[in-house]
């Protein structure tokens, strides 16, 4: 995608916020942040938005203008700075990817089972696209972040319906679609393939999770394991721990006894490359990164290998994330966390 080669997520601003707080929305990301991202040589931002910012459950179908104002400002700042924008519905009516972070919670999502909620989802996207189809910056509309279904079937039906509704409004708007298993590369398998030159498919990579999210308090498996592996290297002791804790195998059993290195990451990316070659659709990596408490040399080595592979295959990317969120390029005060990590993102 032209204008979407190298970018960064604005996570924690209009999505995954601690509380619905206009002071936070006014101050977490400002024009200065957008100018800084552009000065780093990046060409776009991925803007995650949780639906309550733009539509209240108490007034379904009525746009929240005070919420849309924040998106409007971001687009204005990006236009002035020369950045493109991916607008990502991070949490939708009846759906949050966070319901899959602890086993069994995904059943709380009813977007894929309730026709009324699906109607609301489609209508929300019609409102968004009417508002931004002719924005002053190159735009991509990402339908939903990190679908947590075991297979793509129910999501495929909703994707097809939503794409058709958007096409009735904006025939050439660029639409981005990701698959199951939280946008994993494996989620591209069985994802609906629509004959539309303006569709882009997306995946996320935090593999292996037991390295990138080691000791992350919000992910049960790595948290309970407690290991602190280095990269390149092995997940020492993970096999024995998983044998005693088989409920966590969905996150890590395939990585036991595998050396984590560039070859390992090439195998992770390979299905996305194959998907693009087979379908003719571009693919984009919308999230990746290593938690900021991980050994710095290991963190940089993983990032360098992974970004090298994306660049080798001409896959655009959006790092997770710009500010704080345990993966940020800068901390809550705007200070760069690791200049060497940032330099790798910039391609230096």
Q: Give the separation between CA 82 and CA 60, rounded to whole angstroms.
A: 34
Beta pairing, strands 44-50 & 84-91: parallel
DSSP code, position 141 = E
Domain boundaries in the chain?
6-346
pLDDT (mean) for 201-220: 95
On the question of pLDDT at 252 being above 80, the answer is no
Which of 46-50, 60-64, 241-245 has the weakest average pLDDT?
241-245
Among residues 55, 91, 142, 287, the one annotated as catalytic is: 287
CA distance 175 to 315: 16
pLDDT of residue 101 exceeding 80, the answer is no
Q: Which residues pair with 142 in a beta bridge?
A: 88, 176
91, 146, 207, 282: which one is catalytic? 146
Whether CATH 3.20.20.80 fits 6-346: yes
Helix then strand then coil, in percent of the chain rounded to 5, is: 45, 15, 40
At 105, is the pLDDT very low, low, confident or very high (cuts 50, 70, 90)? Answer: low
Q: Give the whole-number percent of the chain exceeding pLDDT 90.
A: 89
Q: Is 287 a catalytic residue?
A: yes
Cα–Cα distance measured from residue 174 to residue 316, given in angstroms and rounded to the nearest whole number = 14
- pLDDT score, position 148: 87
Q: What percent of the chain has pLDDT over 70?
A: 96
Q: How many Cβ atoms from other residues are within 10 Å of residue 255's Cβ?
A: 21
The pLDDT tens digits for 116-134 are 999 999 999 999 999 999 9
Cite the beta strand spans of the chain per DSSP E: 6-9, 44-50, 84-91, 139-142, 174-178, 199-205, 283-288, 316-319
Is 146 annotated in the active site? yes
Residue range 197-203: mean pLDDT, rounded = 98
């Amino acid at each position: 995608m032209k204008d979407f080669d190298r970018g960064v997520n604005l996570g924690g601003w209009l999505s995954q916020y601690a509380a619905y707080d206009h002071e936070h929305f006014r101050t977490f990301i400002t024009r200065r942040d957008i100018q800084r991202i552009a000065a780093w040589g990046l060409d776009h931002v991925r803007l995650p938005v949780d639906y309550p910012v733009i539509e209240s459950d108490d007034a379904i179908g009525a746009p929240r203008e005070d919420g849309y104002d924040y998106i409007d400002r971001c687009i204005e700042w990006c236009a002035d700075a020369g950045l493109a924008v991916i607008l990502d519905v991070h949490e939708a009516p009846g759906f949050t990817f966070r319901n899959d972070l602890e086993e069994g919670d995904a059943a709380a999502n009813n977007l894929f089972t309730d026709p009324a909620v699906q109607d609301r989802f489609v209508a929300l996207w019609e409102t968004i696209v009417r508002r931004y189809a002719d924005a002053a910056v190159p735009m991509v509309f990402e339908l939903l972040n990190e679908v947590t279904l075991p297979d793509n079937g129910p999501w495929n039906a909703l994707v097809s319906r939503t794409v058709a509704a958007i096409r009735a409004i904006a025939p050439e708007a660029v639409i981005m679609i990701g698959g199951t298993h939280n946008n994993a590369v494996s989620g591209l398998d069985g994802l609906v393939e629509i004959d539309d030159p303006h569709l882009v498919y997306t995946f996320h990579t935090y593999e292996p999770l037991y390295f990138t999210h080691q000791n992350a308090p919000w992910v049960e498996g790595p948290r309970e394991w407690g290991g602190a592996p280095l990269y390149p290297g092995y997940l020492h002791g993970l096999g024995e721990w998983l044998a005693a804790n088989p409920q966590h195998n969905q996150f890590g059993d395939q990585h036991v006894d595998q050396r984590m290195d560039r070859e390992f990451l090439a195998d992770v990316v390979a299905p996305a490359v194959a998907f693009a070659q087979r379908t003719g659709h571009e693919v984009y990596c919308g999230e990746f990164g290593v938690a900021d408490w991980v050994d710095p040399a290991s963190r940089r080595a993983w990032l360098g290998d992974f970004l090298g592979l994306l660049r080798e295959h001409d896959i655009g990317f959006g790092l997770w994330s710009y500010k704080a969120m345990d993966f940020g390029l800068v901390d809550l005060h705007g200070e760069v966390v690791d200049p060497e990590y940032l330099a790798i993102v910039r391609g230096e």
